[in-house]
Amino acid sequence: MTKTNKFFKLTIERPRNIKNDILSGLTVALALVPEAVAFSFVAKVDPVVGLYAAFMMGLITAIFGGRPGMISGATGAVAVIFAPLMIELAQPGMLPEGVTKEGYLFAAVILMGVLQMLFGILKMGKFIRLVPHPVMLGFVNGLAIIIFKSQFEMFYVGHGEHAHLLPIIDFSIMGGMIALTMAISVYLPKLTKAVPATLMAIVTVTVISIVLKKTGIHEARNVLDFVQGMDPSKETIAAGLPTFGIPSVAFTWANIKMILPYSALAAAVGLIESLMTLTLVDEITETRGRGNKECIGQGAANLVNGFFGGMGGCAMIGQSMINIRGGGRGRLSGIAAALFLLAILLVAAPLVEIIPLAALVGVMFMVVIGTFEWSSFRVLPSVPKMDAFIIILVSVVTVLHDLAIAVLVGIIVSALAFAWEHGKKIHANIRTDEHGTKVYHLESALFFGSAQSFKDLFDPLNDPQDVVIDFENARVYDHSGIEAINNITERYADQGKFLHLLNLSKECLKLLNKADNIVELSFIEDLEWHIADDRLA
């Protein structure tokens, strides 16, 4: 592995080939099953709904998405958003006769997909560039912590208030299996890279669990039995092919108002998580995905989900990291993962059901270790204090609230910190020439953050009769900057003095309200510097 910059990122170098894509896809499919089932419980729907979502999201985004090698499926971020809707609809008297709560969920997923496709068609995926690197680090660390926390429930028996830790023997067996899974994942690549270490770890621990079952340790159900460990009321994860159906919900304005807030929030969270994951995979593989195409692919996948009985989803950072670590680089890896998952649902469910939960927990712990940016601890003392604060802030908000709020908070804090830092003091070279004219040669950006500092530079009462403000090395970025120039113009006009404004952009000239009081105006002919101002629209 090689470093891509001084502080943060290690690339994962693996050649792209069909074998790596297929084997990595198989590993991803095995890891998708427990995640999809778990997130189905979060969303209050049947596990098969989550498994269908994982299959359709994975297949469609692998074919039409903008990032080869990235894995999509049913995710906790989307499940958490739709859960309140399902809980509300479960209340007595909420549903019309003949309408199921799943119908509302599928309608909401369809609307979510439409919104995401519009986002991509309007080419708004480029706005991911507004996410600063400290926000990215906080996002990655926060998600790693969430994945880590989500595994704790596997150590408990029962649900809700009745949940309790596994008995000591079962707990010890599970801990040993998890440790063995992690050890194989770490050390096998040092001996051979012929097969994915994660897949070999799952197979090895599964064989051990079969032996333990035959020795009579049947009480360790959460440890040795996949389905019973996930859901005691579920006997199998086997299912048929998803079938087309229009949600049994009338698309009236009242129903749209009910589902629109959930759809809009899920669309936003899904795209943020997908585009952030895309950026992370770009960095790890030193390639570049297509954000707008990914938005369209995610939207199309959710649209199909709604019509074929899936709960929707987005890109999955954990499974994407499994795929990248396993050598999956091309679209074939995502396609293979989806098809293997479908095969599991249709014909191979009994084989997957013998995989112990301990093996899958071990895999997810390895994902946590690979996802978390451990280098961020090392660089915290080296980076600016505000960047360090943002890394920690976004990590904490991601864990305590959700990804969308965390990223939004991080961007806002970063923007305010940038504006404050660059607006504290505006730089200018001030001199008086041989004719007694005072020249202010600006060298800073003029925007809302620096407007007051700009106005404080000038002394209309004591300045000479002729004053020059040269913008050759400065730029005016917004309406606040224009108003600051207008204010200075008025102040010199009140003193009966002559103001010369040189080397402005064309847009500045159009927006100056007090141009009559300026004796000389010039602009840079070839400068097309667009200012954010409604009067230009």
- What confidence score (pLDDT) does residue 72 get? 94
Amino acid at 56: M
Residues 6+ apart with CB under 8 A from 263: 108, 109, 111, 112, 115
Which residue, 289, 341, 288, is CA-closest to 313?
341
Which tokens go with 297?
A: 């692919």
* Residue at token pair 């103001």: 499
- What CA–CA distance (Å, rounded) separates 258 from 537? 35
Confirm if 438 and 464 have CB atoms less than 8 A apart: yes
- What confidence score (pLDDT) does residue 308 get? 94
> pLDDT tens, position by position, for the chain (537 residues)?
344 444 444 445 555 678 888 988 888 888 787 778 767 777 778 878 888 999 999 999 999 999 998 999 998 778 878 888 888 887 777 777 777 888 899 999 999 999 999 999 998 877 766 778 888 788 778 878 877 887 787 787 766 566 678 778 878 888 899 999 999 988 988 888 777 677 788 889 888 888 887 776 544 554 555 555 555 555 666 677 888 988 888 778 888 888 998 898 889 888 888 888 888 888 888 788 888 999 999 999 999 999 999 999 999 887 898 888 778 888 999 999 999 999 888 887 777 777 787 887 887 788 788 778 888 888 888 888 888 899 899 889 888 877 668 888 988 999 888 888 777 778 888 999 888 889 999 888 888 888 888 888 999 999 999 899 888 888 888 888 888 888 898 899 888 888 888 888 766 666 665 555 565 565 554 444 444 444 444
Q: What is the 3-state secondary structure (H, E, C) of 50-78?
A: HHHHHHHHHHHHHHHCCCCCCCEECCHHH
- What CA–CA distance (Å, rounded) separates 485 from 302? 50
- What confidence score (pLDDT) does residue 248 get? 82
Which tokens go with 390?
A: 């943002």
- Using DSSP, state whether 408 is helix, strand or coil: helix
For the whole model, what pTM was predicted?
0.66
The C-alpha angle with vertex 137 and arms to 131 and 143, in degrees rounded to 5, equals: 105
> Cα dist. 393→81, 402, 457 in Å?
22, 12, 36
- Classify domain 428-536 at the CATH superfamily level: STAS domain (3.30.750.24)
Amino acid at 470: D
Taking the domains of the chain in order of start, what are their residue ranges? 18-89+99-154+166-415, 428-536
Torsion of CA 216, 221, 227, 231, to 10 degrees: 150
Residues 6+ apart with CB under 8 A from 54: 32, 33, 35, 36, 73, 74, 313, 338, 341
> Cα dist. 16→32, 163, 442, 533 in Å?
22, 45, 52, 48
Task: Give the DSSP letter of residue 227.
Answer: H
**CB-count exposure of residue 55 (10 Å: 0-12, 13-18, 19+):** buried
Residues 6+ apart with CB under 8 A from 234: 47, 227, 228
- What confidence score (pLDDT) does residue 7 get? 40
- Using DSSP, state whether 464 is helix, strand or coil: coil
- What CA–CA distance (Å, rounded) separates 133 from 118? 27
- What confidence score (pLDDT) does residue 332 get? 93
- What confidence score (pLDDT) does residue 1 get? 38
- What CA–CA distance (Å, rounded) separates 99 from 114? 23
Residues 6+ apart with CB under 8 A from 319: 28, 31, 32, 35, 71, 73, 337, 367
- What CA–CA distance (Å, rounded) separates 128 from 274? 10
Which tokens go with 276?
A: 């952030």
Which tokens go with 536?
A: 């230009």
Confirm if 125 and 294 have CB atoms less than 8 A apart: yes
- What confidence score (pLDDT) does residue 75 get? 84
- What CA–CA distance (Å, rounded) separates 355 from 48? 18
- What confidence score (pLDDT) does residue 30 get? 80
For CA atoms 356, 359, 361, 364, give the dihedral sign: negative
- What confidence score (pLDDT) does residue 536 get? 41
